[in-house]
């Protein structure tokens, strides 16, 4: 019976990841195109899109603190999902830069917090079950693929306005699914007496967070402007969706292979290889936009630049932040890497695209993972390179 309950729990977590990333798969590739259809400049689009990264600097830490302080994650997941839904409905009436700035700022405060809360919930459950993080997270990647491909062809047929209704339906579904989850039992941990700042100020933690933020800076350019870049080169929305799907299909493959990869390579080496391949990937996107086959190869490297890098990063974070610091640890990781890194990439990418062009923008973005390679290589030292204390990738 206990095994059956664990199976049901993992199914519900997988379903929640599927729908959450279904939203991401609709939003990330096409929201920039929607803003472009509203006649915003690349610089304005960069600022608006970066609101979601800016909010990730502060908002997840507040919700993470609430989750750890109260011992309740589900309550805050439901609240952030509901407020995110309410905020999104205002998009239908928001036109013009300042109105949309206000609405997207309010929306981002809540939507940016749902994922780190769900991540900490999943990790807490996996600490007491025989589940696999990669197999649960894989369903999120599948959700992204389905949304990116389906919506690409839908927009070609029905126009960019269909994106708003599509996203609204997903937000409603996500909120309803939050009622199928349950809080885990949090076991005491030996490091519970440490303050959160004692953990953060460790040189290893600083090196990891800086290296992650540099990797995500390059991806901030990708997430905000890849679709616009391809659209300006004459690619259809359907083809853009398929190219996004290629990357995430390869991401799923790497999640499935992570147990074997982590048995053979140290976490630090996985991070270094991923950063090296990111330098190649972003250089290729800038140099080979006219060659569809090279673009496909570049997209396949998403398996490393996001898949293996994220899997190894989450594992290292779970080693540094555990026990009562678990939710805040995931929040801090999201805040620094995706908040600060994504904000820098989104804003700089917008101005670079406007004044330098797409090819130069993506070639320059390869500098950030190169710097990350140096930071991780020189600054991160792990005593427990492969062992997963929570059985995430067994």
Tell me the pLDDT tens digit for each residue of 123-171.
676 766 555 677 787 888 889 889 988 888 888 888 888 999 999 998 8
What angle do the packed helices 42-70 and 342-355 form, to 10 degrees? Answer: 180
Q: What pLDDT is recorded for position 298?
A: 96
365 is a domain residue: yes
Q: What pLDDT is recorded for position 105?
A: 84
Could you list the residue range(s) of the whole structural domain that residue 306 is in?
Answer: 2-185+193-379
- pLDDT-derived band at 316, boundaries 50, 70, 90: confident
Question: Phi-psi category of 321—alpha, beta or left, where left has phi over 0 and alpha has psi -120 to 50?
Answer: beta
* CATH number of the domain that residue 67 is part of: 1.20.1250.20
Residue listed under structure tokens 């750890």: 68
Q: CA–CA separation, 48 vs 5, rounded Å?
A: 43
390 is a domain residue: no
384 is a domain residue: no
Q: CA–CA separation, 16 vs 140, rounded Å?
A: 8
Q: What pLDDT is recorded for position 368?
A: 97
298 is a domain residue: yes
Instruction: Give the residue from 164, 147, 30, 23 showing the smallest Cα distance to 88.
Output: 164
Instruction: Give the residue from 21, 25, 31, 178 showing the smallest Cα distance to 103.
Output: 31
Q: CA–CA separation, 5 vs 1, rounded Å?
A: 6
Q: CA–CA separation, 134 vs 265, rounded Å?
A: 17
- pLDDT-derived band at 237, boundaries 50, 70, 90: confident
- Asked whether the predicted pLDDT for residue 59 surpasses 70, the reply is yes
Looking at the 3D structure of the chain, how many domains does it have? Answer: 1
327 is a domain residue: yes
Q: What pLDDT is recorded for position 277?
A: 97
Instruction: Give the residue from 363, 257, 364, 356 showing the smallest Cα distance to 311.
Output: 257
- Asked whether the predicted pLDDT for residue 82 surpasses 80, the reply is yes
Q: Return the ∠ at Cα 40 (arms to 39 and 44), rounded to 5°.
A: 180
Find the range with the poorest average confidence among 178-192, 271-285, 326-340.
178-192
Query: Mapping DSSP to helix (H, G, I), strand (E, B) and coil, where does residue 41 land?
Result: coil
Q: What pLDDT is recorded for position 60?
A: 67
- Asked whether the predicted pLDDT for residue 222 surpasses 90, the reply is yes
- Asked whether the predicted pLDDT for residue 3 surpasses 70, the reply is no
391 is a domain residue: no
- Asked whether the predicted pLDDT for residue 377 surpasses 80, the reply is yes
Is residue 269 within 8 A of residue 393, CB to CB? The reply is no
Q: What pLDDT is recorded for position 389?
A: 40
């Amino acid at each position: 019976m206990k095994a059956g309950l664990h199976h049901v729990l993992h199914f519900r977590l997988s379903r929640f990841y599927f729908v959450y990333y279904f939203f991401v798969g609709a939003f990330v590739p096409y929201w920039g195109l929607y803003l472009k259809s509203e006649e915003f400049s690349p610089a304005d689009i960069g600022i608006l899109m970066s609101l979601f990264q800016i909010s990730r600097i502060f908002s997840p830490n507040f919700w993470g603190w609430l989750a750890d302080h109260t011992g309740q994650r589900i309550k805050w997941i439901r609240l952030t999902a509901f407020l995110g839904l309410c905020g999104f409905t205002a998009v239908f009436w928001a036109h013009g830069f300042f109105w949309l700035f206000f609405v997207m700022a309010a929306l981002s405060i809540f939507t940016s917090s749902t994922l780190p809360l769900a991540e900490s919930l999943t990790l807490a459950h996996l600490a007491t079950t025989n589940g696999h993080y990669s197999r649960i997270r894989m369903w999120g990647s599948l959700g992204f693929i389905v949304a990116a491909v389906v919506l690409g062809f839908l927009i070609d047929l029905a126009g960019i306005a269909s994106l708003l209704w599509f996203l609204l339906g997903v937000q409603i579904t996500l909120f309803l699914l939050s009622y199928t989850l349950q809080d885990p039992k949090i076991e005491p941990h030996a490091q519970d007496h440490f303050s959160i700042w004692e953990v953060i100020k460790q040189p290893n933690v600083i090196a990891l967070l800086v290296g992650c933020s540099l990797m995500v800076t390059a991806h901030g350019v990708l997430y905000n402007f890849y679709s616009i870049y391809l659209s300006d080169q004459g690619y259809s929305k359907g083809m853009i969706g398929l190219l996004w799907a290629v990357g995430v299909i390869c991401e799923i493959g790497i999640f499935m292979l992570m147990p074997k990869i982590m048995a053979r390579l140290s976490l630090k080496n996985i991070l270094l290889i991923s950063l090296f391949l990111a330098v190649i990937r972003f250089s290729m996107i800038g140099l080979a936009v006219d060659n569809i086959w090279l673009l496909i190869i570049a997209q396949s490297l998403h398996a490393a630049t996001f898949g293996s890098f994220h899997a190894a990063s989450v594992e290292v974070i779970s080693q540094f932040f555990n026990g009562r610091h678990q939710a805040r640890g995931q929040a801090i990781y999201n805040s620094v890497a995706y908040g600060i890194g994504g904000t820098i990439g989104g804003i700089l990418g917008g101005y670079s695209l406007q004044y330098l062009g797409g090819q130069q923008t993506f070639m320059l973005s390869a500098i950030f993972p190169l710097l990350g390679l140096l930071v991780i290589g020189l600054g991160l030292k792990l005593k427990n390179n492969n062992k997963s204390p929570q059985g995430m990738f067994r």
